[in-house]
Amino acid sequence: MIILKTDDEIELLRQSNLLVGRTLAEVAKLIKPGVTTRQLDKVAEEFIRDNGAIPTFKGFPNPYGGPFPASICTSVNSQVVHGIPNDEPLKDGDIVSVDCGTFLNGFCGDSAYTFTVGEVSAEIQQLLKVTKEALYLGIQNAVHGKRIGDIGYAIQNHCESNGYGVVREFVGHGIGKDMHEDPAVPNYGKRGSGPLLKKGMCLAIEPMITLGDRKVYLENDSWSVRTRDKSMAAHFEHTVAVGLDAADILSSFEFIEKVLGE
Ligand code: MG
Ligand code: MG
């Protein structure tokens, strides 16, 4: 069932999502060769709790194993999503996708950003650029009267025309009082297909894009998802509210980009 949100509820969602953006900016300040993803997780959890929110990912149940043990997902290089923070230092040339979720004033925030560590190759920089562009092309279609398939088509078309793989096994989602609500928001699809978009629908749009083949597998930790061919993967995510003329982006990369000097 798709739950439409009132304007007041959308403002509460915005507060939660802005906190995610500010948390990712705190993480961005620390990312450099030698730092561990566990250190990033510690800073993120403290920042979320200091701001009166709960990290929604921590303890999140898993049908395949134990609950998620951390407050952020940190997916390094060929990991696509759901990587578990650990004590392995990040290296020059790595990329790390950081996904963060908060629960504040009864509503969920959910946003993700792929960061570079030190100097990365032009090939990887291009993957990140195209994935972020695809996210915004998807968001342009989160408009009243369009359909879910219009979002997926825009993302898929941009990424595949650049030669990249679009992961099928994991998708975006509705979001509100629960982190995962209906509808599913695939990063692929046909124009004019799928559920009708209506003002007040709130969606997490999150392309997961691979430099090589799109096929992925679940690692032995029952969480981390990695490309089968070990090619690099990028993940950018915004939470948005469907609007009459344009989507309202509730999360924000502005805090991150200020830290990164972009
Ligand atoms: Mg997320
Ligand atoms: Mg999400």
The Cα–Cα gap between 238 and 205 comes to 6
- Residue 162, in any domain of the structure: yes
pTM to 2 decimal places: 0.98
Q: What is the distance in A from the centroid of ligand 1 to the CA of 152?
A: 17
- Residue 2, in any domain of the structure: no
- Residue 225, in any domain of the structure: yes
Ligand nearest to the CA of 73: 1
Q: Which residues surround the ion ligand 1 when the cut-off is CB under 5 Å? A: 99, 110, 112, 237
Compute the half-sphere exposure of residue 165: CA atoms within 13 Å on the CB side of its CA: 21
The Cα–Cα gap between 249 and 40 comes to 25
Q: What is the distance in A from the centroid of ligand 1 to the CA of 112?
A: 5
Ligand nearest to the CA of 112: 1
- Residue 208, in any domain of the structure: yes
Share above pLDDT 70 across residues of the chain, in percent, rounded to a whole number: 100
Query: Into how many domains does the chain fold?
Result: 1
| Structural domain that includes position 84 | 7-260
Helix, strand, coil content of the chain in percent (nearest 5): 30, 25, 45
The Cα–Cα gap between 90 and 94 comes to 7
Average the pLDDT over 111-134 and give the result.
98
Q: What is the distance in A from the centroid of ligand 1 to the CA of 196?
A: 23
Q: Which residues, including other chains, have CB under 8 Å from residue 157's CB and lie 6 or more apart?
A: none
Q: What is the distance in A from the centroid of ligand 1 to the CA of 141?
A: 19
Q: What is the distance in A from the centroid of ligand 2 to the CA of 203?
A: 9
CATH of the domain at 76: 3.90.230.10
- Residue 204, in any domain of the structure: yes
Q: Which residues, including other chains, have CB under 8 Å from residue 97's CB and lie 6 or more apart?
A: 73, 74, 75, 76, 79, 80, 81, 83, 112, 113, 114, 115, 233, 234, 235
pLDDT digits (tens, 9 = 90+) for 84-114: 999 999 999 999 999 999 999 999 999 999 9
- Residue 1, in any domain of the structure: no
The Cα–Cα gap between 69 and 224 comes to 12
- Residue 245, in any domain of the structure: yes
Q: What is the distance in A from the centroid of ligand 2 to the CA of 83?
A: 14
pLDDT digits (tens, 9 = 90+) for 186-240: 999 999 999 999 999 999 999 999 999 999 999 999 999 999 999 999 999 999 9
Is the pLDDT confidence value at 262 over 90?
no
Sheet with strand 165-166: strands edge to edge: 165-166, 208-210, 233-235
